């Protein structure tokens, strides 16, 4: 189903949330609008299928080592192999264009027990034309074959929508339309999204579906959204930390859903909240280097407008009875422990008194969960300090057992992936939580009330083709 330049410009505006005619959908409504893998069961043997895979992985020496995202695709890929589809997997690894999926392709073959072909150069970046080699690889493939296209980020067009504004859509549309039409004409006209972590506005994720005859969510992505993520929308306790202050946006939106009753905070989010709370109570709290304008270019810098945002967040949440537990002491850069941060200093972890306060907050949540609606859900995102350095790991290391404590109390506990998942692996055990997501960014978008770009694209594609389940 070819797309015109004009239609692609409109498509891009829809992705950017700038289409005034588009309905505003909730996460649940987006999910209801997208077909599932089973809807493609009628496709004949030998049908080429594009699979946007979760291939951003670093496989270790054997299956099960560093390849959890690749293993998450197994059921979907086996579904296609059993039906004799020719599956063409594509996606990215890291952010550098020189990264290669050669080890990923081999590991997918190990997981499936078959030979997997890697096509190195599948696009001419000057013309956004699919190469003859890529087209021939698909044309000559046998039913049941699996092909991997090299790292999509080696091609500049993959990321052109990352910083795009609605006003840029007309200018970008010709090249994006060419790419999408080429993929449909020479690779496949059916698209399966099986990359739970693909939360960016990548062309492979959000543009290619525009020319597909049929689209569907893969089994793993659908299972994550339909099960664990729906649970997390009911979160009553959120443990939030990390270096990036923009997580404050996610926390604000999550609290705005109205289910959260307790917040345990650490990291930059916590220090912003701590200063905001102090000002609301007619005091102040010095954030040291984190509020010094001389460090405005640093990732740990917290600008004044973020403090104002935190003040409103706390004021509104307090009015709704939400309880905040913030750090009361800090591990500074020289390893000392202090109740304050102060000028010229930076916090790298929470101190022992903070860990005690967190444990007491967990105890209160467990007690309230026994009396409240079931199931009680807790969501943990991030780590409490620079835990990769042994000098600053104590806060995170002490808290991970609290997750088991909640699980043992029949509370559903989910980790948002990323560093939180690494910390669980390092300091705890897999069964200490109900689930650990493989994609922290996607989860935060969904829980934080932001549109997940690939769900927007798939919903628009399903609407365009008339294959939306609600039709």
The full DSSP string for 71-99 is HTTHHHHHHHHHTT-EEEEE--SSS-TT-
- Establish if 126 belongs to a structural domain: yes
Is the domain of 118 the same as that of 176?
A: yes
pLDDT at 287 over 60: yes
pLDDT at 470 over 80: no
- Token look-up 């969510």 returns 217
Is the domain of 308 the same as that of 457?
A: no
Instruction: Determine which helix (DSSP H) or strand (DSSP E) holds 51, and give its type and residue range.
Output: strand 48-53
Name the token pair of 214.
């049929």
- Establish if 419 belongs to a structural domain: no
Put simply, whether the predicted model's pTM sits higher than 0.75 gets the answer yes
pLDDT at 471 over 50: no
Report the distance separating Cα 262 and Cα 361, nearest Å.
8
Is the domain of 201 the same as that of 340?
A: no
DSSP 303-328: -HHHHHHHHHHHHHHHHTT-EEE--S
Is the domain of 178 the same as that of 263?
A: no
Is the domain of 217 the same as that of 257?
A: no
Report the distance separating Cα 210 and Cα 181, nearest Å.
9
Is the domain of 132 the same as that of 217?
A: yes
Is the domain of 66 the same as that of 145?
A: yes
Q: Which of 123-132, 194-203, 251-260, 297-306 has the highest mean pLDDT?
A: 123-132
Measure Cα distances from 178 to 14, 70, 200, 211, 462 in Å: 18, 29, 21, 10, 21
Q: For 419, phi and psi rounded to 5 degrees?
A: -65, -30
Any bridge partners for residue 436, and if so which?
415
- Token look-up 């997981």 returns 111
Strands 337-338 and 330-332, by their bridges, are antiparallel
Measure Cα distances from 414 to 3, 7, 133, 237, 246 in Å: 41, 40, 44, 11, 21
- Establish if 313 belongs to a structural domain: yes
- Establish if 443 belongs to a structural domain: no
Domain that holds residue 180: 5-223+451-465
Q: pLDDT digit string (tens) for 333-360? A: 999 999 999 999 999 999 999 999 999 9
- Token look-up 């701590």 returns 274
- Establish if 138 belongs to a structural domain: yes
Report the pLDDT averaged over residues 326-333: 95
273: Cα separation from own chain's centroid: 24
Question: Mean pLDDT in the chain?
Answer: 93
Is the domain of 74 the same as that of 175?
A: yes
Is the domain of 59 the same as that of 187?
A: yes
Report the distance separating Cα 166 and Cα 22, nearest Å.
14
Number of domains observed in the structure of the chain = 2
Is the domain of 268 the same as that of 382?
A: yes
Domain of 163, CATH number, reads 3.40.50.1260
**Who wins on pLDDT, 446 or 346?**
346
- Establish if 45 belongs to a structural domain: yes
- Establish if 271 belongs to a structural domain: yes
- Establish if 342 belongs to a structural domain: yes
Q: Is 215 in contact with 458 (CB distance < 8 Å)? A: yes
**Who wins on pLDDT, 185 or 233?**
185
Is the domain of 175 the same as that of 29?
A: yes
Report the pLDDT averaged over residues 85-94: 96
Measure Cα distances from 461 to 37, 202, 303, 448 in Å: 15, 16, 40, 24
Q: Is 403 in contact with 196 (CB distance < 8 Å)? A: no
Is the domain of 240 the same as that of 210?
A: no
């Amino acid at each position: 189903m070819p797309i015109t330049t004009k239609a692609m410009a409109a498509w891009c505006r829809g992705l950017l949330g700038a289409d005034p005619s588009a309905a505003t959908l909730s996460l649940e409504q987006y999910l209801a609008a997208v077909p599932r893998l089973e809807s493609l069961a009628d496709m004949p043997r030998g049908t080429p299928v594009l699979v946007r895979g979760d291939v951003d992985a670093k496989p270790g020496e054997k299956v099960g080592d560093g390849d959890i995202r690749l293993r998450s695709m197994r059921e979907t890929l086996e579904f296609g192999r059993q039906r004799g589809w020719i599956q063409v997997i594509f996606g990215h690894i890291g952010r550098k264009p020189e990264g290669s999926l050669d080890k990923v392709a081999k590991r997918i073959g190990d997981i499936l027990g078959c030979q997997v072909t890697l096509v190195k150069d599948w696009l001419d970046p000057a013309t956004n034309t699919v190469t003859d080699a890529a087209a021939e690889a698909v044309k000559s493939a046998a039913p049941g074959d699996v092909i991997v296209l090299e790292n999509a980020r080696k091609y500049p067009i993959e990321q052109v929508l990352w910083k795009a504004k609605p006003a840029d859509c007309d200018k970008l549309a010709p090249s994006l339309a060419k790419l999408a039409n080429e993929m449909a004409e020479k690779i496949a006209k059916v698209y399966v999204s099986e990359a739970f972590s693909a939360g960016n506005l990548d062309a492979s994720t959000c543009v290619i579906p525009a020319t597909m005859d049929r689209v569907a969510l893969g089994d793993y992505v659908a299972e994550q959204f339909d099960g664990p993520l729906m649970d997390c929308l009911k979160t009553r306790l959120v443990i939030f930390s990390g270096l990036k202050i923009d997580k404050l946006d996610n926390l604000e939106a999550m609290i705005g859903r109205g289910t959260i009753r307790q917040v345990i905070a650490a990291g930059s989010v916590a220090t912003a909240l701590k200063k905001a709370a102090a000002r609301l109570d007619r005091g102040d709290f010095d954030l040291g280097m984190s509020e010094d304008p001389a460090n405005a270019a640093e990732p740990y810098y917290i600008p004044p407008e973020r403090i104002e945002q935190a003040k409103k967040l706390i004021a509104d949440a307090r009015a709704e009875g939400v309880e905040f537990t913030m750090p009361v002491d800090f591990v500074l850069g020289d390893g000392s422990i202090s109740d304050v941060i102060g000028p010229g200093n930076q916090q790298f972890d929470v101190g022992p008194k903070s860990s005690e306060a967190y444990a007491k907050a967990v105890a209160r949540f467990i007690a309230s969960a026994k009396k409240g609606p079931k199931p009680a859900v807790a969501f943990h995102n991030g780590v409490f300090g620079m835990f990769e350095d042994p000098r600053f790991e104590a806060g995170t290391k002490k808290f991970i057992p609290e997750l088991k404590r909640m699980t043992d109390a029949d509370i559903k506990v989910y980790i948002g992936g990323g560093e939180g998942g690494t910390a669980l692996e390092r300091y705890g055990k897999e069964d200490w939580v109900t689930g650990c997501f493989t994609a922290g960014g996607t989860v935060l978008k969904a829980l934080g009330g932001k549109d997940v770009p690939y769900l927007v694209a798939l919903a628009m594609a399903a609407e365009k083709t008339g294959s939306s389940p609600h039709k």
